Structure 1
């Protein structure tokens, strides 16, 4: 019997006017297209033993809304203590970040890419960092 695992969900917290955020959308759309293309190829020719690691398909959710407080807390856990300031301007701890964000939602830096299923997030303008996160999750 053959079961399909549900697709992972990757969310991009996007800012339309930001060149870095616009690039992140392009990078993620390309990665998504590549993943679904390779999934189709895999189904066409049965590779029971995959030799190359390719990202499995994922659903891309692009939003311009700020995260909810719960989502932000999760994102901060995913990025880790030393990267909190890359997510919320001027914050060094989760408590500071949540307080700053509550007072000023604009303190949330975009783009932020979150892979909810695999517990990873990157707040970066670096396309290679985004691709690294996306491609790491193929296993």
Structure 2
């Protein structure tokens, strides 16, 4: 149901960056996402007047970039852990320092918001997330966003 609400025709995918400005890695990821989004937006108009060569559309997926310095809510954290492979995948420890489980991650995050590891990129519409600064992995996540023509 959550995906269906946001997957409606005309709605852009929302990609959230959980950001920490003092982190060089997080700042690099913000730059990568801003560039990918700007490129997608600038090509969208061109695409309307030109052929839709699949080779040229590879990185032209528009998305709404949401940048937040706040840690995720408990519900968001549960979803992110699921997106990263689930409770038994070790995902909780990747995104909350020292967490051994989903419930431990929620508890540690409530005790200390700084235990949340940034950067973290989340595509809420597709149910995908990536923790870290690997540009190729971030671009893989962005490229997997369905284009508007694919949604119709």
1:51 maps to: 54
1:127 maps to: 135
Shift of residue 122, structure 1, vs aligned partner = 0.7
Structure-to-structure mapping, 1:1-139, within 5 angstroms: 5-47=10-52, 50-52=53-55, 53-80=58-85, 81-138=89-146
Name the stretch that deviates more: 122-131 or 7-16.
Answer: 122-131
Contact 1:55–1:138 (8 Å) recurs in 2:
no
Equivalent residue pairs, number = 135
TM-score, structure 1 length as denominator?
A: 0.88
Name the stretch that deviates more: 89-98 or 57-66.
Answer: 89-98
What is the alpha-carbon root mean square deviation over aligned residues? 1.8
5+ residue gaps in structure 2? 1-7, 148-152
Cα distance change of structure 1 residues 85 and 111 upon mapping to structure 2, 3 Å threshold: same
Structure 1 ranges of 4+ moved more than 3 A: none
5+ residue gaps in structure 1? none
* Separation (CA, whole Å) in 1 of partners of 2:127 and 2:76: 12
TM-score, structure 2 length as denominator?
A: 0.81
